[in-house]
Amino acid sequence: MWSNFFVQQDEEGRIGVAGAGQGGGLGGMKGGRGQRRVHRMSDSQEGKIKLAFLVAIIGVTLMVLGMGTEFWVELAQPKNLGGNQTCQMAHYGLWKGCVRTLWVADIDPERESCGPVELPGESNCTYFKFFTSGENAVIFKRTTDKNLNLAAAVLALLSLTMMVMGSLCIAMALSKGVAFFLKPASFCFILSGVLVLLSVLVFHQSVVSLLSSDDSVPLHHQLSWSVSCVGSAGAILIFGGLLFIVLSLPFSPWKNVCHTRTAPPS
């Protein structure tokens, strides 16, 4: 009797272990189906992303350089105005304007206006009061339009903010080894480039408004090298954003579908 009892207990134990193994296997299969597969980047893909990021960094550098300088536009009076030995010209950017006094003898005889700005002379620079007291600036009897100047500065600051956000997305993509952040980064850099170009257009409109405010003294004006830096930065940022879009295409989840193959019967 006792022998039959122990045999029955042994068989029930085996059945329980087998059932637990089957249940664990089903649970593992369900858990495996519920888990999300993360596709990490290869070394070649990471290298391409770093190269595209280097292109975007060049655009960011040019943007910061142009944004912080006051050589967006040059305004020059006729060099023989008043018959003096000196003449005056002005140059300004988003934040600050300068008036330079140059010697007429140092100017090219074939040049009719005062300049260029690289010649030695005395400078008097002041920051604009658009952002503090809201006052317009007066340059050679001409008055600026503070609304346009403020709009150009705000667009430039928004562009800089989008650059920072795009750079953070790329840094996270490289540190985590996933390409999920490439598309947000591309959006940030493209939008940043568009905002930069819009800032240049609005600034040019502010220069036109300044020149039309008074015509008692003729002025020669031209956009300077800071605008060239900012415009090049906008084009480079848009190009860098497009590169990130192209690099994010191979990581589409539709191209990473795993197909299961059934094992042949033994």
Cα–Cα–Cα angle for 157, 162, 168, rounded to 5 degrees: 130
Q: What is the pLDDT of residue 250?
A: 57
Q: What is the pLDDT of residue 39?
A: 57
What order of strands is seen across the sheet that includes strand 73-76? 121-127, 96-103, 86-92, 73-76, 220-223
Cα–Cα–Cα angle for 92, 98, 103, rounded to 5 degrees: 120
Mean pLDDT for 69-90 is: 90
Q: Residues 119-135: pLDDT tens digits? A: 998 999 999 988 888 88
**pTM of the shown model:** 0.76
Domain boundaries, the chain: 43-72+144-248
CATH: 1.10.1510.10, 3.40.109.10, 1.20.1290.10, 1.20.140.150. Which one for 43-72+144-248? Answer: 1.20.140.150
How many helices and strands, by DSSP H and E, does the chain display?
Answer: 5, 7
Q: In the chain, what are the helix, strand and coil shares in percent, each to the nearest 5?
A: 60, 15, 25
- Whether the Cβ atoms of residue 118 and residue 76 lie closer than 8 Å to each other: no
> Percent of the chain having pLDDT more than 70?
78
